[in-house]
């Protein structure tokens, strides 16, 4: 029978529930338990696909094409949990299902209400994942902050769920212990209030995890335990760390795994954290430093390119180098050419990630041109690959008005809209999404990186390479090294006379893990380090 862990958050948002949930999942897997991960987002959007990165960070994509919250990326990096459309629940998805049922007459004339119909649908979606995956433990993270009006139906559904799954369900509450700088002391009162709100709903947390910048004293533990009606040994620290990959080890050192096992009546197997210990050993060691410029339009928000940054860190760990990520706003490159010179002089590699819209494109094209001409390692992802193609068309093929039809009307759309996209009259869930096959040409950089000729990668885009220009590009030296043969779509392009210059239409960052870096990222960092050595 599946055991369930519900993780809630209190005091404020952005406490790191996703990282805490992922770390717990990693520990349970290290104890030889099969884990399923699920995220509940209380917003009314059906999925995250139509939301700006400034609103909600990056959109993570699963193999089956679900556009989800970025926390699923954390789950993927920390665990081997099978992630799919069933791993993501939103208010929009819940209400859409309920309303469709009501329209079909499934409720037999009843008045449709939040309780029991909405809460029952939430519980059905939770069970649908465990029915498919059959895990030993399912971790359900409830997004938002306790006290938010949007979260109430989900918390009520979790309370009801626990009643029908007694002895197989626990609640872990992540909360903040703020430090009042003027007084120079930490305060537990916000945690007490947060748990108080939970108890009003009918949920008493089994375990409290406290985000704290320092150390949780015995007195603070005692106060939290007393006022929150739990035992002192059920209060744990969720400390600030310089690397999130230390958390499975830190939580294990506190004995969190034994407490979870006890409360869920699981065997307290000793977790095998060898792979995590090896990673941290490299992270904490002294290493040569390289700088990678990530050039995008959503740079101001850390979470906009979360998976890209983490994939770079994974590759840096594999290559045993210290990584300095230079976050470059492509609009600033356009406004001030001096910024371009500064980036080129400092960067050992340049990466242009995915995105949408014309803002900042000319800045990206300018930096790609110099990277190509100076043979600085370049890696383009999705839009970054399309910009690589546009720049090559303008400056090598000498097609002055070469562009993407996404940005402007042009007589030379080297990037254009897929034919099956023209008739679509809505935005949500209509791009090329999820995993597709890619056939790699022999003797190419792509084949050298992957070591195989058929790969499967995830996509999230509408616009494609225009095959009308394929011969022109290849005659001019741009290698088309990967294709989705079924629809003759270009997936990978690379420079002919360049140690490392590659663009991919897919999103390889979604498949990278700290102990299994994605091969393209690994090769990119390896070549950036070589460039760093050679330019000295």
Q: Any idea which residues carry the catalytic annotation? A: 382, 507, 509
Enter the tokens of residue 287. 């290493």
Which helix (H) or strand (E) element contains residue 41?
strand 35-41
Q: Give the span between the Cα atoms of 103 and 37, in whole angstroms.
A: 31
- Under 8 Å between Cβ of 311 and 506: no
Q: Give the span between the Cα atoms of 115 and 383, in whole angstroms.
A: 45
Among residues 346, 218, 255, 355, the alpha carbon closest in space to that of 293 is found at 346
CB atoms within 10 A of CB 88: 24
Burial of 29 (0-12, 13-18, 19+ CB in 10 A): buried
- Under 8 Å between Cβ of 6 and 142: yes
Q: Give the span between the Cα atoms of 31 and 481, in whole angstroms.
A: 42
Query: Tokens 């059959």 label which residue?
Result: 134
Among residues 94, 39, 107, 44, the alpha carbon closest in space to that of 72 is found at 39
Enter the tokens of residue 100. 């469709």
Q: What residues have CB less than 8 Å from 491, skipping those under 6 apart?
A: 436, 438, 457, 482, 483, 484, 504, 505, 506
Enter the tokens of residue 520. 């393209």
- Under 8 Å between Cβ of 285 and 274: no
Strand partners of residue 435: 458
Helix, strand and coil percent figures for the chain, each rounded to 5: 45, 25, 35
Among residues 183, 182, 185, 228, the alpha carbon closest in space to that of 209 is found at 228
Q: Give the span between the Cα atoms of 407 and 405, in whole angstroms.
A: 5
Q: Give the span between the Cα atoms of 121 and 94, in whole angstroms.
A: 6
Among residues 200, 184, 183, the alpha carbon closest in space to that of 192 is found at 200
Strand partners of residue 503: 380, 493
Q: Are strands 185-186 and 179-180 parallel, antiparallel or unpaired?
A: antiparallel
Angle at 444 between CA 439 and CA 450, to 5 degrees: 60
Enter the tokens of residue 114. 């939040």
Strand partners of residue 211: 176, 238
Q: Give the span between the Cα atoms of 388 and 505, in whole angstroms.
A: 11
């Amino acid at each position: 029978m599946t055991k369930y862990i519900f993780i809630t958050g209190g005091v404020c948002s952005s406490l790191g529930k996703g990282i805490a949930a992922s770390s717990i999942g990693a520990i349970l897997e290290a104890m030889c338990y099969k884990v399923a991960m699920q995220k509940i987002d209380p917003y009314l959007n059906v999925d995250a696909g139509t939301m700006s990165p400034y609103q909600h960070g990056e959109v993570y994509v699963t193999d089956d094409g679900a556009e989800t919250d970025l926390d699923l990326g954390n789950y993927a990096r920390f665990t081997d949990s099978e992630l799919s459309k069933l791993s993501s629940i939103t208010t929009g998805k819940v209400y859409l299902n309920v309303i469709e049922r009501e329209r079909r007459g499934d409720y037999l004339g009843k008045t449709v209400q939040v309780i029991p119909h909405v809460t029952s649908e939430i519980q059905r979606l939770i069970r649908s994942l465990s029915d498919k995956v059959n895990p030993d433990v399912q971790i359900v993270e409830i997004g938002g902050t306790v006290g938010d009006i949007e979260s109430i139906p989900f918390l009520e559904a979790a309370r009801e769920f626990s009643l029908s799954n007694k002895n197989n369900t626990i609640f872990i509450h992540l909360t903040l212990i703020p430090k009042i700088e003027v007084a120079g002391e930490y305060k537990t009162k916000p945690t007490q209030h947060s748990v108080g709100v939970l108890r009003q709903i009918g949920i008493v947390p089994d375990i409290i995890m406290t985000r704290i910048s320092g150390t949780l004293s015995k007195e603070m533990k005692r106060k939290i335990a007393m006022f929150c009606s739990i035992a002192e040994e059920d209060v744990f620290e969720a400390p600030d760390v310089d690397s999130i990959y230390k958390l499975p080890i830190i939580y294990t050192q506190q004995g969190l795994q034994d407490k979870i096992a006890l409360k869920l009546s699981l065997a307290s197997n000793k977790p095998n954290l060898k792979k995590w210990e090896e990673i941290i050993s490299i992270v904490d060691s002294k290493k040569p430093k390289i700088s990678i410029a990530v050039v995008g339009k959503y740079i101001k928000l850390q979470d906009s390119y979360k998976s890209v940054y983490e994939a770079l860190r994974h590759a840096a760990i594999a290559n045993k180098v210290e990584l300095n990520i230079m976050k470059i706003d492509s609009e600033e490159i356009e406004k001030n050419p001096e910024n371009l010179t500064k980036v080129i002089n400092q960067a050992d590699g340049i990466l242009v990630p995915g995105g949408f819209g014309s803002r900042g494109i000319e800045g990206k094209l300018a930096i790609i041109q110099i990277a190509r001409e100076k043979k600085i390692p370049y890696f383009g992802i999705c839009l970054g690959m399309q910009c690589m193609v546009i720049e090559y068309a303008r400056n090598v093929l000498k097609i002055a008005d070469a562009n993407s039809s996404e940005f402007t009307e042009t007589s030379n759309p080297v990037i254009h809209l897929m034919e099956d996209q023209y008739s679509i009259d809505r935005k949500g869930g209509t791009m090329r999404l999820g995993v597709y096959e890619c056939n790699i040409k022999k003797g190419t950089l792509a084949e050298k990186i992957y070591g195989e000729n058929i790969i499967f990668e995830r996509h999230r885009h509408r616009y494609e390479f225009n095959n009308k220009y394929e011969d022109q590009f290849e005659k001019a030296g741009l290698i088309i090294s990967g294709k989705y043969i079924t629809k003759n779509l270009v997936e990978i392009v690379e420079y002919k006379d360049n140690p490392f210059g590659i663009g991919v239409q897919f999103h390889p960052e979604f498949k990278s893990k700290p102990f299994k870096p994605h091969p393209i990222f690994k090769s990119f960092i390896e070549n950036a380090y070589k460039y760093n050595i050679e330019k000295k």
